[in-house]
Each structure stands twice: as structure tokens, then as C-alpha cells.
Amino acid sequence: MAPPLLLLQNISLTLGGKPLLEAADLSVSAGERLCLVGRNGSGKSTLLKIAAGLLELDGGTRFMQPDANVRYLPQEPDLSAFPTAFAYVEAGLGPTDDPHRARTLLNELGLSGEEDPAHLSGGEARRAALARALAPEPDILLLDEPTNHLDLPAIEWLEAELKATRSALVLISHDRRFLQNLSRKTVWLDRGRTRSLNRGFAEFEAWRDSELEEEERQQHKIDRKIVAEEHWLRYGVTARRKRNQKRLGNLLTMRTERRERPKASGEVRLVASEGALSGKLVIEAEAIEKSFGDRIIIKDFSTRILRHDRLGIIGANGAGKTTLINLLTGALKPDKGVIRQGANLLMATLDQGRASLHPDTILKDALTGGGSDYVEINGERKHVIGYMKDFLFGPEQARTPIGRLSGGERGRLMLARALARPSNLLVLDEPTNDLDLETLDLLQEMLADYKGTLLLVSHDRDFLDRVTTSVLMSEGGGRWLEYAGGYSDMVAQRGAGVSAAPVFSPRGIEKPKAEGAPRVDKKPAAKPRLSFKEKHALEALPKRMEEQRALLAKLQSQLDDSGLYARDPAKFAAVSEAFAKAEAELQAAEEDWLELEIRREEIEG
């Protein structure tokens, strides 16, 4: 077996007087694909920085093969020292690396390279950092939350790029689908120690649960043994004899180990403060349009959102998802059309930019609004310290300024604020950013039990599949279409997902083919006459196309039933598959007929 390219053994590190890593190991071999998982604050990013050689150790060893090349993607890349995005990427190249690849990667990620880093958004800075990490084609890629701030086209592009690379991968991500598609090994960091599973993330959660159950059984045995030994100590007449002093020492050791044993991380407790029931009709939009200058965001769009609907809104960055949310919720007026909101609507929102969080506001005041020590949840007053604990904040953090919280802590704070408000309409714009996988699970469960209506903007494919009952997809040019089910159901109905190349990239936009263009494999037009088979096809194809259109109309009427997915998911999947198949057959028939018709006209004319 080949030696590892990178090896961390028995790593220990203390930050702020608190042990963060105690016995962490990490081994990366050539071409290996592993993901590093654990709760927020468990030390994943710290361990990745140690692997990259950016942090000093308190204990343990770090070894890397002398000729190995490693590239690290931080959560928050800093481009401030560089005049342009390309200069930042170029600075990461070695003497033998190809600068043309750096330029190509930037273009594929939607950047020209001439951008001023001071004016880049979080997503654009992330794309520049990805180009810098990928351009040298290193032996090892260490990627910390590479999908943060990326839209679905960019995520799927990155996924394809990483599948094709020969580099070894170490991934930290909250995106389940991303981890499932790329990982072949899972390293779990828990209470300062690592445990490894030689399988991908898809099998991690079942394995983790079994490990925790076994740990609980073993600890229960130890606790029972301590109780038995304490009973012997109190009542055993031989306890004072010299030969039993060893037994007494063992008892004291077990007590110490139980007292100092690291406890499993607490669980976030998510409960939404629900308001009175809204009317059956929540929001209705009729033929609305919205443009900014010459740019059309929404064109002739109509929809009806009913009570209990779970609507996901998806599309590339810049497609207008947040604009659409603002229109539907009344924060923005349409240029044309009418938007009506139902009766008794109580709305709570979580914005993706966390804009309402002022960095100088302390945590307690952010939750209570200031001037109080209590929050009200479902009509009951709860002390703010207890509510903070529900979201894994310690009492000592009550007066911590928000600007000093981590990304995950800010995400939990925004959830805590949104869920504290009485509501029957939840509007969540990118709620999964910076949340760990366990918190995402609990958020999903809470949304499943929520009795109101949900509007969700997200680039997390797995979360969309688990939560939504329908999705609105940006089709380009201001056109939005609604599909029943989640993201995967939308892909089945459209026959394709979001474009793998970012739509904002000049190189990612393919020149559209002329409508009705003949297929490449058509026969030469110089043929003097149509064959018998071609004549028969030309006569039979119109009838076949009509049959397919009738079938599509029938299937579409079934898919328009908003309750079908909830009542019978298997039937919904079968109808979706049949719809995609019929649509593909109709398209093929139309292309065949058009090709033959063009050839007939050329021969006759």
C-alpha cells in the first residue's frame, strides 16, 4: 500500500483555554476522496488549517511527502492585497503551472479576471478562490465549505470539475448532495477526536447513530459497575483490608473518568412560534412583471399560494429569486399585474444577507429586541438565557456582540429570531448557509410540523427535496415555471436540471440553435427523391405528434394536482417519468418531421 501524501497523528490544540482537538488523526492518500464532518464548533476548519500547515500544534505530528503539492480553500478568502481577481489567482500558481488554465477557470466561473477585489460579492470572491485552488491541479485539495455563496449552476459545475480532477480531496460542506456525490471516505470529528468510515457520506449518518448507541451502551455498563463498587465500598466488610486497596483505586479512577468524559454536543431545539391560522388563499399573483432598466426579471407570471404550501424558488444567482420573494410578500411593487395577499397573514422572514444583524448589537438584545430578558414563544414567556441554550448558545455569550459570532452561530441566531415571531407564513432566504448537518435535520423536521405556509429560496438540492411540495424554476428571460415536488422531481419533469455551467458566464452561454434546426445526422439534400420509408414517416409523424400532445396534456393535468405528491409519491414519480418520456418522444418526432419536410421542399423546389 502506498504511503499517505499527508498524515496527521494524535493532534491536540487548545484555543482560548478550552481543548478543541485532543486526539485527532487524518490520513490522505493519492486520489482519495474524503469528507470531514462534525458539529459547528467541533474544530473541522481548524483541523483543515493544520493540514494546510497554517496553524501550530500543541501536540501530535504532521507529515507531508516532500514533493506533494497542497492547495487550501478557506471559508472566507482574503483578496484585499491584490489589484485584480486574476492577480490573486495567478499568485497561487507555481513556476510550472499554466496561467491559461487560471484564466479559463475564472471565465468558466463567470469572472473576467479584471474585477477589483474590493467590489466583489461573497459569491464572486468564493469563485476567485476556487479558481486559485484548482488552477495548479495540486496533489491534495483542502476545501472548506466550497459551495457557500454559490448558486446551483456553479455548484453543479464545481461538482463535475472535482469528479474529473486527479487531486485527492478533503471536503467540509453542509451540502448533503455534494458530499454524497463526491466522497468515498468519511472522517467524523467529535469531541476533539476523529473516527473514520471507509465509505462515502451516504452511509455516514446510519453509522454515526450506531456508534453513538454503542457508546451509550458501554457507558451504561460502566455506570452500573460504579454503582456496584460504591455499594461494596459502603457495606463490604473487606473494604478496609490492604489487598482491596487496588479495587478502591479502580473505583476512584472510574469516577474520575466519568466526571471528565467529554459530553456529546447538545441539540438545537427548534420550535416555531405559530400565529393564528391564515386564510386558505395566502398569496395570489396575476400577470405580474418586473424589470430593472432593460433587464427583465419577471414577465407575465401568475401563481396561487394556498395555506400549507411549501414552495421552493430556485435559479442561478441574478435570476431574481429574492426580487420574486419581495414581490410576493409586498416588499416590492410590480411594474404590471396584481398581487393579493390573503387574510390574517403573519409573516416571519430570514434574509440571506443577515442584513438585520448589526455587528455591535449584543446577542441578548438581538433576540429580545432590547429592554427585556424574555422572549415569547407560542404565548409563553421564556427567559432569554433558556432560549439561547435551545440554539446552543452559552449563558456567557449573552453580551457577545454579533460581529464576533462565527458564521454558524449567526445562522442559528437568525433562525432563533425568525422562529420567535408569531407567524403563519415563513419566508426563508438561504436558511441552510453555515448550518451544520444536524441542525439542518432539525430544521427540516420543524418545517414538516409547521402548520403555516413556507416560501423557501435555497441552492441545497437535498434540503429542497426533503422540504418542498413544489418549486418555481427560473427558465430565463423573466419566465418562471412551477413544478410539483422537490428539486429531483423538477429535474425529472424538465428532463434536465439547472445548467451545469453558470448562466452568468459569457463562456457558459451556448449560442442558441435556430428554432427547428435540422439534426446533424440528416441525409444530404441533394437526394433526388424521398424513399418509401421517408414518405411513410412524413405521413405518419403528424398523427404520432398529436397523440403525444394529447398524452402530455393528460399527464400535465395529473401533475397540476397539488395534492398528488403528498397523497401518493410513487404515483407522482411514475407520472413525472412518463411525462418526461412523452416530452422527449414528441420532441424527437417534431425534429424528424421537420427534417423530412425541409428535404421534401428542397427536392420539390
List, as residue ranges, the binding site for ATP. Answer: 38-45, 315-322
Cell of 225: 459497575
d(CA 600, CA 594): 10
| CA-CA-CA-CA torsion sign (500, 455, 269, 220) | negative
* Distances from the Cα of 294 to the Cα of 290, 324, 381, angstroms: 10, 17, 51
Three-state SS for 522? coil
Question: Rounded to the nearest 5°, which phi and psi values hold at 191?
Answer: 55, 40
d(CA 560, CA 540): 31
Q: Pairing mode, if any, of strands 453-457 and 425-429?
A: parallel
What is the number of other CB atoms lying within 10 angstroms of the CB of residue 169? 22
Binding-site residue ranges: 38-45, 315-322
Cell of 603: 427536392
Three-state SS for 137? coil
* Distances from the Cα of 37 to the Cα of 70, 134, 176, 189, 338, angstroms: 20, 22, 11, 6, 47
Three-state SS for 401? strand
d(CA 292, CA 10): 57
User: Which residue stretches of 347-454 are H helix?
Assistant: 363-368, 384-390, 407-420, 437-449
d(CA 373, CA 399): 12
Three-state SS for 545? helix
Three-state SS for 24? strand
